Amino acid sequence: MGKTGKEHQMDQEGLQQNVGKQGNVKLLKGAAVLGAAAVLSKLLGTLQKIPLQNVAGDAAFGIYNAVYPLYILILFAATAGFPVAVSKFVAESVIHGDHQEARRIARISGVVLLVTGIVLFMLLYFGAGEIASWIGIRQTERAIRSVSFALLVAPTLAVLRGYFQGYHNMVPTAVSQVIEQLIRVITMVALLLYLAALAYDEEWIAAGATFGSVTGAGAGLLVMYVYWRKAMRRQKYSGDQEGARKPGFKVLSSWQWTRRIAAYAIPVCLGAVVVPLLTLVDTFTMPRLLEASQGSELEAIRQFGLYNRGLPLVQLVVMIASSMSAVLVPAMADAKARGQIDVLRFRAEMSVRLSWLIGLGASFGLAFAAMPINVMLYKNDEASLTMAVLAFTALFSTLNAVSASVLQGAGAVRTPVQALLVAIVLKALGNVVLMPRWGINGAALSAVIAYAAAAGLNLVQLRRCTGARFALRPYVIAPTLGVVAMGVCLAALQFLAMPAAAAWHVSERLSASVIALVGVAGGAAVYGLALLRSGSVSREELRLMPELDRKLAPVLARIWPAGRSGGR
Average predicted confidence (pLDDT) for the chain: 81
Band of residue 74 on the pLDDT scale cut at 50, 70, 90: confident
Q: Contact at 8 Å (CB) between 209 and 52?
A: yes
Lowest mean pLDDT: which of 52-61, 173-182, 235-244, 427-436? 235-244
| Structure confidence by residue, pLDDT tens digits, 400-448 | 888 887 787 677 778 888 899 999 999 999 999 999 999 999 999 999 9
Which position has the higher pLDDT, 178 or 384? 384
pTM above 0.85, yes or no: no
Q: Contact at 8 Å (CB) between 307 and 382?
A: no
Instruction: Say whether 199 sits in a helix, a strand or coil.
Output: coil
Backbone angles phi, psi at 507, to 5 degrees: -60, 150
At 463 the pLDDT is: 86
| Structure confidence by residue, pLDDT tens digits, 6-32 | 444 444 444 344 434 444 445 445 555
Q: Contact at 8 Å (CB) between 328 and 351?
A: yes
Q: Is the pLDDT of residue 554 over 80?
A: no
Band of residue 557 on the pLDDT scale cut at 50, 70, 90: low
At 295 the pLDDT is: 78
Q: How many CB atoms lie within 10 A of CB 348?
A: 29
Report the range out of 195-204, 274-283, 477-486, 494-503 with the highest average pLDDT: 195-204
Q: Contact at 8 Å (CB) between 435 and 286?
A: yes
Nearest-5° Cα angle at 400, 396 to 402: 120
Q: How far apart are the first and last CA of the chain?
A: 64
Going from N- to C-terminal start, the domains of the chain cover 18-244+252-272, 473-554
Distance CA 407, CA 466 (A): 9
Burial class (CB in 10 A: 0-12, 13-18, 19+), 367: buried
Distance CA 308, CA 347 (A): 35
**DSSP classification of residue 2:** P
Instruction: Say whether 299 sits in a helix, a strand or coil.
Output: helix
Q: Contact at 8 Å (CB) between 268 and 85?
A: yes
| Structure confidence by residue, pLDDT tens digits, 106-135 | 898 889 889 999 999 999 999 999 999 999
Nearest-5° Cα angle at 307, 302 to 310: 130
Distance CA 219, CA 285 (A): 34
At 317 the pLDDT is: 81
